[in-house]
Amino acid sequence: MGAQWTEQEAAHLLSRATFFPGKAEVSASLELGREETVRRLIAGESLTGKEENLTPFKELKADGKNLVGDQIVDQQTYWLYRMVNTEAPLIEKMTLFWHGHFATSYQKVREIPLILRQNDLFRKHATGDFRALVEAVGKDPAMMLYLDTNNNKKGKPNENYAREVMELFTLGVGNYTEDDIKEAARSLTGWVYDKKTDTISFNSKQHDTGKKTILGETGNFDETDVVDVLFKQEALPRFVAMKLLTYFASERPSAEWIWEIADVFAQTHHIGETLNYLFLSDAFYSLEHRGAMIKTPADYVAGILKAFNLPMAKGFAQSMRKMGQELFLPPDVAGWRGGTTWLMTTNLLARYQFAESVAKRINGNVLNSKTFLLSDQAEPQQWVAHFASQAGIPLLGERSINVLSSYAEETFVHSKQKVNGMRGLLQLIMISPDAQMK
């Protein structure tokens, strides 16, 4: 490994593997070193040594009021609170990754306890064995309701789950046939989730015991056999590698990089070990990849909330919805498309409105504190760099620096009344092109 380990590299890693590259976390990472930082992130251990101290759902207040368990916006608010306050940020980020990968929606499931149970399942398997997660998802009640497993019976197979487990969960388009889907659906018949008793059971009378042929293999297959066949496919490691790379490293990874990560993943099918290899690789820290990915709404909102230590409000989760990412309600089974779709006109406007609302919440006492104030001799560029650092934006382009410096000089640098100008500078930094990238 030839890459340096400086503040820039640490901030780059944390901007991708967590929701916010804060000063405390960057400093801790520099002291720990790259290997130990990566190990702790994957293991879900605190970088700074702080103990996990999340307020329980029933005790957390938003807008000064207790959250209500049967309201989906309250559950969205609590998950956002976890993203902001967790000491295991990569685990939480992978929980969100799996939510988009194995996408299910409250709109169809309509059972908050089941949605939360699935969320905990993703958290439990966040950086673990991929096969164990695939097996668990197949018998997850929320997934079973979402993809109509209860309707998959002998003689009348429902192909929904069989199709998505190949297309979206393991292999990707073009690596299976319609016949493979039909045969896999037959193999998966007989499993039922009963809402009244909250139990999953296997009805042998509804299971097709005939021979099936899936991806070139023939046998009297059941659900375990289907997973066995899927994990023998060369396409599976490449598919998972592509998903991990486009989530953490590059929106357009090279074919060579995909093959490299696929080879690592194929050895163990372990997500944590694959991420360990990726996060320790020189390629991950290449200058061309820094500040080159668009922040998800979760990155953008959770990062800003953590940067300014703002109390929770339900409006924050609703802002995420307007930006195009509504927790527990992805648009369809394919999840969020990501990339440039995050910056469509309406989504981008929602980011600007969120930044404005945040700036208004930062009061004069905070802006006049030692955290924000610089000396009277500080230059406009120093104010800009300082405020950008506070907002968790380590990289500002030359054009942004020039525009923001001019604003700072014109509004507050030479004035005794600085608060309004400082608030305006923070808002402009948050809506700058650089603040949308990670």
Q: Is residue 39 part of a domain?
A: no
Shared-domain flag, residues 213 and 322: no
The number of domains in the chain is: 2
Find the mean pLDDT for residues 203-214.
98
Q: Is residue 53 part of a domain?
A: no
CA 421 to chain CA centroid, Å, is 34
Instruction: Classify 156 as helix, strand or coil.
Output: strand
Please report which confidence band the pLDDT of residue 229 belongs to, taking 50, 70 and 90 as the band edges: very high
Shared-domain flag, residues 217 and 306: no
Shared-domain flag, residues 128 and 214: yes
Q: How far apart are CA 129 and CA 231, in angstroms?
A: 12
pLDDT tens by residue, 307-344: 999 999 999 999 999 999 999 999 999 999 999 999 99
Shared-domain flag, residues 214 and 75: yes
Query: Does the model's pTM come out above 0.95?
Result: yes
pLDDT tens by residue, 104-114: 999 999 999 99
Residue that terminates a domain, selected from 212, 230, 248: 230
Residue that terminates a domain, selected from 230, 247, 273: 230
Q: Where are the alpha helices (DSSP H) in 369-413?
A: 380-390, 398-408
Q: Is residue 276 part of a domain?
A: no
Residue 3 has pLDDT above 80, yes or no: no
Shared-domain flag, residues 319 and 226: no
Shared-domain flag, residues 193 and 326: no
Q: How far apart are CA 237 and CA 270, in angstroms?
A: 11
Domain span at residue 139 reads 68-230
Q: Is residue 286 part of a domain?
A: no
Q: How far apart are CA 377 and CA 179, in angstroms?
A: 73
pLDDT tens by residue, 37-85: 999 999 999 999 999 999 999 999 999 999 999 999 999 999 999 999 9
Q: Is residue 141 part of a domain?
A: yes
Q: Decide if 276 contacts 42 (C-beta within 8 A).
A: yes
Shared-domain flag, residues 190 and 306: no
- In this predicted structure, what is the pLDDT of residue 272? 98
CA 73 to chain CA centroid, Å, is 18
Q: Is residue 11 part of a domain?
A: no
To 10 degrees, the CA torsion angle through 397, 251, 16, 86?
130
Q: Is residue 113 part of a domain?
A: yes
344 CB neighbour count, 10 Å cutoff: 12
Residue that terminates a domain, selected from 230, 246, 268: 230
Shared-domain flag, residues 203 and 335: no
Shared-domain flag, residues 82 and 226: yes
Taking CB atoms within 8 Å and a gap of at least 24, the contacts of 291-294 are 291/395, 291/434, 291/437, 291/438, 292/250, 292/251, 292/437, 293/16, 293/249, 293/250, 293/251, 293/437, 293/438, 294/251, 294/338, 294/339, 294/340, 294/342, 294/343, 294/436, 294/437, 294/438
Residue with tokens 């969120």: 354
- In this predicted structure, what is the pLDDT of residue 1? 53
Q: Is residue 253 part of a domain?
A: no
